Amino acid sequence: MPLPRARLAVPLVTALLGLGAGPLSGEPSPTPPSAVLPRLVSEGHAPAAAMLSASPTASRFQAAGPGIRRADRFRAGSITKTFVATVVLQLTTEGRLHLDDPVGRHLPGLLPHEAGRRVTLRALLTHTSGLPDYADVSSRLSPTARTTAREAVRRALARTPGPVGRYAYSNTNYVLLGLVIEQVTGRTYAAEASRRIISPLRLGGTSFPGARTALPPPHGRAYDAAGRDVTALDPRTADAAGELISTLDDLNRFYAALLSGRLLPAPQLRQLLDTRPANGPYGMGIYPHRLPCGTTVWGHNGHIKGSYVRTATTGDGRRTVTFRVNTDAVPDSALDSLEPALLAAEFCRADGATEGAP
């Protein structure tokens, strides 16, 4: 059964965002990825779709629909969470954080006393904190309000939390992790992710926009369900839960490096991929998807105003795929069938290779 995709609705004057949340299920596709991708346009009614497959020996870019290119920058939504989780786990390797630290130790007074004592960094990373999702608060704000994620989180934390230890996707968790990173390092989570991940991997198309509303060039256009151009938007509502801007190549490179052990030592990589705290559906900023052929791939999706993106990679990081559409309006019913069909077509091929030449 597909997990629900968390959506973050905020006033249109800032943005209307939906941050992706969970793995999807589906049947194997007997056709190659090049035959499945155009269905995101024909059946999903996306203006355009693009996909980049990569392995150590080959890569292939495919596109359907006009105005979408391999080099385009786009908003990557909740894929931000994998970057944030990686930074947190790097800080644990340095002894500056511990996964069982209570949140109140690093952010005193922000959570209600009992929650600050019981909710740990591990619970934030695995979405088992029980903390209310600030998306629910943002969706009820005045259409003229200009509210940042941190302001909305404070409103959300005034609500009664759920039980600690039960998986419930909440964007609040990752905004708090961003604050923890800032408190421990003295630098923003964006600065730390840039220093620790973006610069070492040379992810030249990846950035955290902060208050910048424009996408950096080159980029195409992004559209909402009504066909309106939403390329420019205020990303501050997404914050550490989903503000990332990236490219197809950069996301493939990041996930390949992460799963191959370039960014985390083996003990921390095992913690990243440990789904037991969430009882199966989620690790730490990353989730598994088991394909019909028996292969399990790891990655995340991102659902933000004007964009849907999904990256998946094999457990050794050797084969990776990212696909995207330039709208947030593809129906869940279409994604529930087409996304797993794309992943199965890519990773369940008998020859184990990507289509095409480098």
Let me know if 25 is a catalytic residue: no
Rounded Cα distance, 258 and 261, in Å: 6
3-state secondary structure of 180: helix
Q: Which residues contact 214 (CB under 8 A, 6 or more apart)?
A: 231, 232
Name the helix (H) or strand (E) containing 60.
strand 59-64
DSSP 249-272: HHHHHHHHHHHTTSSS-HHHHHHH
> Token pair of 23, please?
């793995």
DSSP 287-321: EEEE-TTS-EEEEEEEEETTEEEEEEEETTSSSEE
**Proportion of the chain in helix, strand, coil states, percent, rounded to 5:** 35, 15, 55
Residue of 78, 170, 194, 307 with catalytic role: 78
> Token pair of 321, please?
């795929």
3-state secondary structure of 340: helix
Active site residues: 78
